[in-house]
Chains A and B, each alone.
Chain A
Amino acid sequence: MNSEAKSHYHILPLRTYITVAGALMVLTVVTVAVSFVNLGGWNAVTAVFIAAVKASLVALFFMHLKYDKKINAVVFLMAILFLAIFLSFTFFDILSRGDIYSEVEKSIKGKAVIYDTMPFDSKSAGHDDSLTVENNEP
């Protein structure tokens, strides 16, 4: 159709751009509407999911990732991947801190009990000895 056009690249039809922009507008309305519905913990998940769909539309069509060399998409996905690692490992930490604190508390108590019931005189045992005893415990 555009054989006369001198551009080296795939020229998208006008309709594609208009449709994508329309979809982005509709999704904006959806994300606002959904935010007024109480979904419990799922509100944040829904909001991020809709935003991710919108971002994908922008990347695929406005930024031409669908038609470009795949290496560009790989670079983009790398950024998303490393951001996901950053986020998920942070969440491993912050969502399990309560458990870790209670775990620490328990093991300190446990150790104290072991120390009390040690078979030999605890006064003669240095720090290194107490470590060995702890290792032999199970």
Chain B
Amino acid sequence: MSTPAKHSAYLAHHFSDSIQQSDSAKLGMWIFLLTEILLFGGLFVAYAIYRAWNPDMFYNAHKYLDVTLGALNTVVLITSSLTMALSIRCMQLGNRKRTMHLLLVTLILAGVFLIVKYFEYSHKIHLGQLPGKYYTFTGIEGNNPHIFFSIYFMMTGLHGIHVLAGMGVIGWILKRTSRGDFSPEYYTPIELTGLYWHLVDMIWIFLFPLLYLIG
């Protein structure tokens, strides 16, 4: 610390050292995640209002969601969070190859999540369980079952867009890792991608019981 830090390629001149730089980046990422939580928060509040008003309709409508596929996707996302966290650990230990393998596994698991989601969505589209005025299904008792599916599609849809965006970022980070951009001294972009990916996982952790497991 007493000697002036060597001006590395990755250290921006307005930071005193790389620790300060990485701490600032992480704080910025957390503030972004705060806005993400509040973005989803609006949908969670909409869910709470309509479930409080239509408890029986929510119960009847949720039976048309496949618990097995929902649980499978939960396991897939938790595993992808684990591989994401481990890829960062491997970069901390300087194992670039391992980092790349684990990022690739994370990317594949994100793809598996979306494929499962695709089968769930196409089944619902086939049955006509669509949001709002596009709802044509007649098999659910209770008032306005289309409200449940509006909320289901908006919440899982916004989450799905986040998974898609996450795949884009993970792919980009994978490319940068293979290019040799990162080292145990500098891996902030992988770490921030990890934070984002864990948040996507965390939101699904709430969506799964709230949508699929209404008791």
Closest to A46 in B: B215
Q: Is the CB of B52 within 8 A of A91?
A: yes
- Assuming the A-B contacts A8-B22, A62-B194, A95-B52, are A28 and B34 also in contact, with contact meaning beta carbons closer than 8 angstroms in the complex? no
What 1/0 mask marks residues of chain B from 75 to 114 whose CB sits below 8 Å from any chain A CB? 1001101101110010011100000000000000000000
Name the residue in B86, B195, B205 with the highest tally of chain A Cβ atoms < 10 Å from its Cβ.
B205
Given A44-B215, A62-B85, A51 and B37 touching (CB < 8 A)? no
How far apart are B215's CB and chain A's nearest CB, in angstroms?
3
Binding site for B on A (CB under 8 A): 5-9, 11-12, 14, 17-18, 20-21, 24-25, 28, 31-32, 34-39, 43-44, 46-48, 50-51, 54-55, 58-59, 61-63, 68-69, 71-72, 75-76, 78-80, 82-83, 86-87, 90-91, 94-95
Interface of B is mostly: helix
| A90-B71 contact in complex given A7-B185, A78-B34, C-beta closer than 8 Å | no
The listed residue (B30, B33, B78) touching A24 by CB distance below 8 A is B78
**Cβ–Cβ contact B89 & A83, under 8 A:** no
Other than A47-B210, A51-B208, A79-B34, give 16 A-B pairs with Cβ distance below 8 A. A5-B94, A6-B184, A7-B185, A9-B92, A24-B78, A35-B214, A44-B214, A48-B209, A51-B210, A58-B198, A58-B201, A58-B202, A68-B26, A69-B27, A79-B38, A83-B41
**With A47-B215, A83-B38: A8-B48 Cβ-Cβ less than 8 Å:** no
Pairs across A and B, CB under 8 Å, 30 listed: A7-B187, A11-B92, A24-B78, A28-B71, A35-B209, A35-B213, A35-B215, A37-B215, A44-B51, A44-B214, A46-B215, A47-B213, A51-B209, A55-B202, A58-B81, A58-B198, A58-B201, A62-B81, A62-B85, A62-B194, A62-B198, A62-B201, A75-B27, A75-B30, A75-B31, A75-B33, A79-B34, A79-B41, A87-B41, A87-B44
Q: Which residues of B contact A (CB under 8 A)?
A: 18-19, 22-23, 26-27, 30-31, 33-34, 37-38, 41, 44-45, 48-49, 51-53, 67, 71, 74-75, 78-79, 81-82, 84-86, 89, 92-94, 183-185, 187, 194-195, 198-199, 201-202, 205-206, 208-210, 213-215
B129 smallest CB distance to A (angstroms): 21
